Amino acid sequence: MTAILSVRKLEKTFGSVVAARDISLDIPAQQTVGIIGANGAGKTTFINMITGYLRPSLGTIWFEDRDITGRSSRQITRLGISRSFQVAQIFSSLTVMENICAAAAIARGPRGALAHAWRPLLSADTVGEARAAAELFQIGAYRDIRAATLPQGVRKLLDIAMAVVGWPRLLLLDEPTSGISIEEKFSLMDVVMTALKSRNITVLFVEHDMEIVSRFADRVLAFYDGTVIADGAPAQALADTRVRTFISGTRTVPEAVAGAG
């Protein structure tokens, strides 16, 4: 399969601290990739470099055969890469429809013209896109509800809908089930992944819940100490000895060792 995203020898340092090092990988178009690792393992640093929130210290990032290394987050978004955040980035005082319309208007607006994004806020095209996104993520029933009063799960879906309304080809999700109850997390991810697959979007999602990763990822990237220590199908990556030791905590101590002393 053709790679939509390729990184080579990617590294990020903060003074003497190495946050990411020697990351080289290819992501095929329309693949769903789960990214796992303990806090501080380099997951968010990796995502921030891909989306332009951090400039790499070394290495290159290619998106659809275009070198995007060091470009700004706004430039990268306009090229077709979008993201959501662990804490939903929404306008709390606006309704669900107004939020999605605002995101659509910004995506359609002139380059670097955030102040003018409100002008086409309620254009026929913008409203049409917003309605389609609301239905796609099954939040149409909340369209006239102010975002501040939404349940956490709906806030998450709204945030992702806003990231998708500009029709990205690559989407990065930062802990999509964070703050979601055990009873809701699988149904929420079912909605999200069904919606994204319907638009043929390549997905990278950071997640701490191994059940979610096992169920929804085609491939797993496991980060530890700033680099990738396992890369493969979920069953393969999650069974890796280093992943079980440093990330999932499922490696057991051999009985002979446990009984010694």
- Quick: pLDDT tens for 203-260: 999 999 999 999 999 999 999 999 999 999 999 999 999 999 999 877 644 433 334 3
pLDDT recorded at residue 88: 67
The mean pLDDT of 156-180, rounded to a whole number, is 92
Could you give the domains of the chain?
A: 1-80+169-261 (3.40.50.300), 90-167 (no CATH)
pLDDT recorded at residue 112: 39
pLDDT recorded at residue 108: 65
d(CA 201, CA 199): 5
pLDDT recorded at residue 119: 52
| Residue burial 84-122, b: 16+ Cβ < 10 Å; e: rest | bbeebebeeeebbbbbbbbbbbbbebeeeeeeebeebbe
Residue 58: CB partners within 8 Å, gap ≥ 6?
Answer: 9, 10, 11
More confident residue, 256 or 168: 168
Range with the lowest mean pLDDT among 26-30, 95-99, 102-106, 219-223?
Answer: 102-106
The answer to whether residues 247 and 38 touch, using CB atoms and an 8 Å cutoff, is yes
Question: For all residues of the chain together, what is the average pLDDT?
Answer: 88
pLDDT recorded at residue 111: 47
| pLDDT per position as a tens digit, 54-92 | 999 999 999 998 999 999 998 999 999 999 877 767 888
d(CA 146, CA 126): 19
The mean pLDDT of 119-139, rounded to a whole number, is 82
The answer to whether residues 91 and 102 touch, using CB atoms and an 8 Å cutoff, is yes
Structure-derived torsion over alpha carbons of residues 238, 239, 241, 244, reported in degrees to the nearest 10 = 50
pLDDT recorded at residue 90: 86
More confident residue, 2 or 19: 19
User: What six digits make up the tokens of 218?
Assistant: 């085609």
